[in-house]
Amino acid sequence: MVSIIKTGNSIRSIFNYNENKVKTGKAECIGAANFLLDISQMSDAMKLSRFTERIQLNDNTKRNSVHISLNFDPSENHSKEKLMAIANTYMYKIGFGKQPYLVYQHFDAGHPHIHVITINIERDGKRIDLHHLGIRKSEPARKEIEETFRLIKAESLNKNKQFNLLPISMGKVCYGKIESKKALAAVLNQVLYSYRYSSLAELNAVLQSYNVLADRGSENSKVFLNKGIVYRILDEKGIPAGVPIKASDFYFKPTLKFLESKFISNKPRKESDKARLKNVIDMAFLRENITHLNQISLILEKEGINIILRKSNEGLIYGITYVDHTTKNVFNGSSLGKEYSAKGIIERFENKPNLDKSELINKRLETFSFENASKKTFDSIAIINLLDSLLKPEMAIDYLPKQFKKKRRNRKRI
């Protein structure tokens, strides 16, 4: 089972999203908890008012709505009763068991899944803390539920068996073949919450691989001046096709304000993630037959890394971005160091015949954390792990951290 938690400031938008799915036959409301009446006895207005009345008890909390999806392996076929039992257990374990919530079974993806909508305002007006809810409570709850209900474990899914949480998450949006807004929403839902990006350029490096562009417009445009953002579908040549869709038109509101908050929270990156990427690049350059950037790009693709180049109108490369689909990180080349920037990569090709390979290996291994290395069994990473364990520099014998040093006692001579 895979659980995804999203928070927002509009329970109405989340409610309407699921109810619209019901109206089009793509979902069914299979249960409710902590409502006064059964779902069959309530109108849409009655369901929604239960949430809005509770929210009014705490006007200071802006992020007050929670949208959860619980996703199961395609081979699993659970009854409505079992799905409700799973939902109730999950909500109890993450601390929302006494909150009003609705459960919807969706039928519009290639795998079974349910959506749960709720709020984080309690009956006394207090706010339930949403900070790191996924790490603190959702992950432990998920693992317990997998055992209790004998579900296929998320960790047991191998690369060939993994299912997509969204039906087009691994395919490109094709304008004209699928409803534009629905296609954009599917891609945005997958990318915005899964990848770590710290700028609009880094975000677009991922989105463009799905033929999608987040666009602020020109500096004199109304969209830019009003601090807005639109999302566009791109054709095969990378040219915008069709009508752009405003961020506010999506139920999850991927506005510029939302993106800017993600830019800030995504800035801290694990050094092991950076080290993995730098080591893969360095190992690629050690190959004798590497003479062109396209060759480096193909090697990195085998390791789950894409290179995105930024070129001038004259065709000159002035920027490079790396998208690591394994660690879900997006790095601007210069953020990894000068030698990984566009200029640095080009200079490496120019100086390649004079590279001291042993020196390069030792230099990179010193920055690589063996314990935090990626668990993926890539050939180059396995080599690095082996070398790291053998060549990792050791502290000098006489070195001792200051806090562990004891004061010397003066011994009396006999």
In a domain, 174, yes or no: no
| Strands 65-71 and 101-106, bridge-based pairing | unpaired
**In a shared domain, residues 259 and 202:** yes
**In a shared domain, residues 66 and 211:** no
**In a shared domain, residues 217 and 349:** no
pLDDT at 75: 84
Question: How remote is the C-alpha of 408 from its chain's centroid?
Answer: 53
| Residue 217 and residue 223 in contact, taking contact as beta carbons nearer than 8 Å | yes
| More confidently predicted of 161 and 149 | 149
- pLDDT tens, residue by residue, 58-78: 999 989 999 999 999 888 889
**In a shared domain, residues 87 and 111:** yes
In a domain, 400, yes or no: no
In a domain, 402, yes or no: no
Domain span at residue 342?
271-391
For CA atoms 117, 119, 124, 129, give the dihedral sign.
Answer: positive
| Residue 58 and residue 121 in contact, taking contact as beta carbons nearer than 8 Å | yes
pLDDT at 120: 95
For 129-247, strand residue ranges (E) read 212-215, 230-234, 240-246
**In a shared domain, residues 281 and 242:** no
| More confidently predicted of 398 and 107 | 107
- pLDDT tens, residue by residue, 6-23: 888 899 999 999 999 899
**In a shared domain, residues 21 and 69:** yes
**In a shared domain, residues 151 and 15:** yes
Predicted TM-score (pTM) of this structure: 0.56
Secondary structure (3-state) at 173: coil
Radius of gyration of the chain measured on its C-alpha atoms:
26
In the block, residue with structure tokens 């039928």: 107
Domain final residue pick, 249, 266, 283: 266
pLDDT at 394: 37
| Residue 210 and residue 191 in contact, taking contact as beta carbons nearer than 8 Å | yes
**In a shared domain, residues 207 and 130:** no
In a domain, 165, yes or no: no
In a domain, 136, yes or no: yes
Q: Which amino acid, residue 290?
A: I
DSSP 74-115: TT----HHHHHHHHHHHHHHTT-TTS-EEEEEE-SSSS-EEE
In a domain, 212, yes or no: yes
Question: Residue 28 corresponds to which tokens in the numbers above?
Answer: 């069914």
Q: What is the mean pLDDT of residues 184-210?
A: 88
Pick from 170-184, 232-246, 260-274: least confident: 170-184
In a domain, 410, yes or no: no
Alpha-carbon distance of 254 to 246, in angstroms, equals 9
**In a shared domain, residues 120 and 26:** yes
Question: Residue 201 corresponds to which tokens in the numbers above?
Answer: 């350029």
**In a shared domain, residues 40 and 97:** yes
Is the pLDDT at 167 greater than 50? The verdict is no
In a domain, 414, yes or no: no
Q: What pLDDT band is residue 108 in, cutting at 50, 70 and 90?
A: confident
Residue 258 backbone dihedrals phi, psi, to 5 degrees: -65, -45
Alpha-carbon distance of 190 to 154, in angstroms, equals 17
Q: What pLDDT band is residue 412 in, cutting at 50, 70 and 90?
A: low
pLDDT at 209: 84
Q: What is the mean pLDDT of residues 253-270?
A: 88
| Residue 44 and residue 116 in contact, taking contact as beta carbons nearer than 8 Å | no
pLDDT at 119: 96
Is the pLDDT at 387 greater than 90? The verdict is no
Alpha-carbon distance of 247 to 224, in angstroms, equals 13
- pLDDT tens, residue by residue, 143-157: 999 999 999 887 765
Pick from 114-123, 134-143, 376-385: least confident: 376-385
Average pLDDT across the chain, whole number = 80
**In a shared domain, residues 227 and 289:** no
